[in-house]
């Protein structure tokens, strides 16, 4: 086994040992309370809006220092604490056996616990409570999302489950980002930037037009709102390989939000934004200015779009002059546009004209 493989194994084993000990420690804490004739309770960091703070230095949302307690002495909390203990035990078994389960599978497994969840949402919340209580990630606990990961295309070599992969040798759909992306070794990467796009339609257009060679980049298809594994991949590639990340989404408030979640994280996942947010990532369009400058086909803003834009204007993540200008401009013109609207000028236009102009703009700002 080479030195790199040994380091990779050591990193994986350390994460497993850390998570296992955290899970075991939770159980021992409850047992210790019982042995001392104390009512068992668990300290759980608050994920309420009052404890979610935007950190200007880190440039993403973090949890404050407020905590609550789940206690068997409180009738209203008995069920939730019981569910948390069952989930912790389930995860402890997964970690020990190096297995994973989807969050949907856990929901069905709970049917045999005698303290099952009423809905999938209830199950997800308890999983997140465990995650924030232990200070670990859902993926390290062995719990995986149901959806497929995003796609990556370009000249990067990875080691996934012991197999070396080049993302240009996996067909036109590229490499699918693994839910366990922290266990994937990012090897040689012969590109100088990453271009992440919201839709798979744009992803396939860029692949077909050899944009990975034209711009010497990795192309990432986000599949809409980026999954946690996708955001973790983008953060890792930015930090470990020093590659700038550029995001191009639809020109509407929802596209703005998808980009900003990658850049500054989400309030909902404040407890893991340190591992997911990429504060140096840049949004390069589609902007309200693009809609005007390129005379793009548009749709009229709906009432819900207008309301959402006004909400974004008050969000601390959008306080920069760039975001404030683009939000106000979109409200003024009352229009939104999709990425694919550049096809008005031909299928190749987005690669031949739009992205070269955007990358030159970014270089001039640097």
| C-alpha to C-alpha distance for 194 and 149, rounded to whole angstroms | 17
User: In this structure, what token pair is assigned to residue 93?
Assistant: 């078994």
Residues 79/85, Cβ–Cβ less than 8 Å:
no
Please give the Cα distance from 126 to 78 (Å, whole number): 13
361 CA to centre of own chain: 27
Cα–Cα distance for residue pair 275/10, rounded to 1 Å: 20
Cis omega before residue 179 (within 30°)? Answer: no
Helices (H) and strands (E) in the chain, counts: 14, 17
Q: Evaluate whether 291 touches 333 at the Cβ level (below 8 Å).
A: yes
- Give the separation between CA 7 and CA 11, rounded to whole angstroms: 6
Identify the DSSP state of 119: S
> What 3-state DSSP class applies to 107?
helix
Write a three-state SS string for 69-94.
Answer: EEECCCHHHHHHHHHHHHHHHHHHHH
How far apart, in whole angstroms, are the C-alpha atoms of residue 243 and residue 249? 19
Residues annotated as catalytic are 108
> In the beta sheet, which residues pair with residue 218?
194
Axis crossing angle, helix 253-264 with helix 321-333, rounded to the nearest 10: 170
The answer to whether the CB of 219 falls within 8 A of the CB of 206 is: yes
15's tokens: 């994460």
């Amino acid at each position: 086994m080479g030195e790199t493989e040994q380091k990779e194994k050591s990193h994986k084993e350390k994460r497993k040992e850390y998570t296992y000990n955290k899970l075991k420690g939770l159980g021992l804490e409850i047992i210790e309370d019982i042995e001392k004739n104390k009512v068992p309770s668990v300290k759980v960091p608050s994920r309420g809006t009052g404890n979610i703070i935007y950190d200007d230095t880190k440039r993403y949302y973090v949890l404050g220092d407020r905590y609550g307690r789940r206690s068997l002495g409180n009738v209203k909390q008995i069920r939730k604490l019981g569910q948390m203990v069952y989930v912790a035990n389930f995860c402890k078994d997964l970690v020990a056996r190096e297995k994973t389960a989807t969050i949907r599978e856990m929901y069905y497994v709970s049917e045999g616990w005698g303290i099952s969840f009423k809905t999938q949402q209830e199950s997800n919340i308890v999983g997140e409570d465990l995650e924030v209580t232990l200070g670990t990630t859902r993926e390290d606990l062995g719990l995986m999302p149901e959806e497929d990961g995003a796609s990556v295309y370009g000249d990067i070599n990875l080691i996934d489950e012991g197999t070396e992969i080049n993302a240009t040798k996996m067909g036109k759909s590229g490499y699918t980002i693994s839910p366990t992306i922290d266990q994937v070794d990012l090897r040689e990467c012969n590109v100088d930037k990453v271009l992440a796009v919201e839709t798979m339609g744009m992803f396939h257009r860029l692949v077909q037009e050899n944009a990975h060679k034209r711009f010497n980049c990795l192309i990432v298809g986000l599949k809409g709102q980026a999954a946690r594994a996708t955001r973790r991949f983008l953060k890792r590639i930015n930090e470990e390989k020093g590659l700038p990340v550029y995001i191009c989404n639809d020109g509407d408030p929802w596209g703005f939000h998808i980009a900003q979640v990658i850049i500054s994280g989400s309030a909902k996942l404040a407890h893991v934004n340190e591992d997911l947010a990429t504060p140096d990532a840049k949004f390069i369009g589609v902007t309200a200015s693009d809609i005007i400058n390129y005379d793009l086909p548009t749709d009229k803003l709906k009432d819900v779009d207008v309301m959402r834009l006004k909400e974004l204007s008050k969000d601390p993540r959008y306080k920069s002059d760039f975001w404030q200008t683009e939000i106000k401009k979109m409200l003024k013109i009352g229009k939104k546009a999709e990425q694919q609207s550049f096809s008005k000028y031909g299928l190749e236009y987005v690669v031949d004209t739009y992205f070269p102009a955007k990358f030159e703009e970014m270089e001039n700002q640097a």
